Amino acid sequence: MRYHLPAWIFLACLFWACQSPVEPEATSVEMPALHVSGNRRFLVQENEKPFFWLGDTGWLLFSVLTREEADQYLSNRAAHGFNVIQVMILHELFDDNAYGDSALVNLDVTRPLTTPGNDPADPEAYDFWDHVDYIVDLAAEKSMYMAMVPVWGSIVKKGGVTVEQADVYSKWLADRYKDRPNVIWLNGGDIRGSDSTAVWQIIGENLRKYDPNHLITFHPFGRSRSSTWFHNAPWLDFNMVQTGHRRYDQDDSEQAYGQDNWKYIRDDYSLEPVKPTVDGEPAYENIPQGLHDFTQPLWLAPDIRRYGYWAVFAGSFGFTYGHNAVMQMHNPNSKDPNFGVKENWWDALDAPGAVQMKYLKQLMLSRSFLDRVPDQSLIAGDAGEKYDYVIATRGIDYAMAYTYNGRRFAVNMGKIKGEQAKASWFNPRNGRTEAIGTFPNQGIVEFDPPGEVEDGNDWVLILDGV
């Protein structure tokens, strides 16, 4: 229940909220800090423990869900193996949350509407920012990192945030969250770095200066890469690509990579200085192909698997999944549903693609992680194109090759240690492995995946050196 204060009391509280901010206490939950690995290709936790980024886009989590709903969502994602949630702090300047609490005073990012002295756990007292703090801490309790966008790109593009305002706001954010162990910063937000560049630069510089212990990247516009604008920026720890939601025939970008998201990762992987890279937004499950024409087919679980394995095998340190209903937390009371969404977010939590993502994570962590490299020289002959493309990666003593449609392909042996190689098929749909046999680790060997050749009959060939 909400109580209405007399106007003079409300104005007095508002005055003190803006004049005398009190920083909240950080969560007592201990989580290992994330940093870039020694070879600059991956993320690791303390003691160089490999960290496979399995992200989910819960963009409107802070502004739509109640605390009980946030617990339901985060518990589900943790159970499915997700360890990073990508979320907006401010989607619009007029944002409020599920309890009707506004984020800002007069739509001004330099004036966050905080209420000092509140108990963040008291449902009758906490404000918008207490709610954000609570969910960040709740995620920490579930061993999950929160990759947070300070302000969505469209707000800045429309002129809602000046460089001067961004300067004040980003300093305030950095100070508020610098001691929380599970924060990652996503500068930008679905925008080209060439648009409002000075705003993104000041946000990145302030986050680095005033919150030096958290990783920072930039979430770019569809079919683009953060590296195009910020690869050499001192504040950018790792790159992010948004490979987007368009088919081959819908891609009107200059590169026209279409659904070949592996090409974006390949391009980042070749850059100097070396920085890790990740596909932070491929096509979402159950969203129309191309986004805006709702008569088009939907992207489905097989497509999402293809994007995941292509990105990771090309050199990405992880992968971000998304679902049309979940990313916007769609529900019967949604004010502005997008992209033809029909499901409610809670009904979409166990969509096939969401359930299957953990198998990718489990597979990559089942072998040595930090020595892994993309290596197309493993594929003998033509690797194919589009859905026929076979992509390969290897460590010192193992190799893997992914086919989306289960076509026959040949492998150049001798790329890994061992006189022989034990071969097996890994099923991305259920995570099961089926042994094939042991082969001499030399020459060329042809492999024929189980089943008929058809899109979605995807398999990973695993070769382990003996």
Question: By the 8 A CB rule, do 330 and 316 touch?
Answer: no
Can you give the residue ranges of every domain in the chain?
A: 7-365, 375-465
Please tell me the pTM assigned to this model: 0.93
Instruction: Report the candidate in 412, 462, 410, 403 with the shortest Cα–Cα distance to residue 438.
Output: 462
141 three-state secondary structure: helix
Within 8 A by CB and 6+ apart from 333, the residues are none
- Token pair, residue 58, equals 């819960």
Within 8 A by CB and 6+ apart from 445, the residues are 410, 411, 413, 439
Question: By the 8 A CB rule, do 190 and 153 touch?
Answer: yes
CA 18 to CA 271: how far, in whole Å?
A: 45
Where does 211-351 have alpha helices with state H? 227-230, 261-269, 301-313, 324-327
Instruction: Report the candidate in 402, 445, 395 with the shortest Cα–Cα distance to residue 420.
Output: 445
What is the structure's pLDDT at 125?
Answer: 72
Q: Which residue has the tokens 């990313």?
A: 327
48: left (phi over 0), alpha (psi -120 to 50) or beta: left
111 three-state secondary structure: strand
Instruction: List the beta bridge partners of residue 320.
Output: 55
No. of helices (H) and no. of strands (E), the chain: 12, 23
Instruction: Report the candidate in 202, 297, 206 with the shortest Cα–Cα distance to residue 259.
Output: 297
What is the structure's pLDDT at 28?
Answer: 55
CA 396 to CA 369: how far, in whole Å?
A: 10
Domain 7-365 identical in fold to domain 375-465 = no
Strands 390-394 and 444-447, by their bridges, are: unpaired
What is the structure's pLDDT at 27?
Answer: 55
Q: What are the average pLDDT values for consecutive 10-residue runs of the chain, which has 466 residues?
A: 36 38 55 96 94 98 97 98 98 95 97 82 81 96 98 98 98 98 98 98 98 98 98 98 97 95 98 98 98 96 98 98 98 94 97 98 98 98 97 98 98 98 98 98 98 98 98
CATH class of 7-365: alpha beta
Strands 43-44 and 35-36, by their bridges, are: antiparallel
What is the structure's pLDDT at 7?
Answer: 40
- Fold entry, domain 375-465: Immunoglobulin-like (2.60.40)
Question: By the 8 A CB rule, do 56 and 84 touch?
Answer: yes
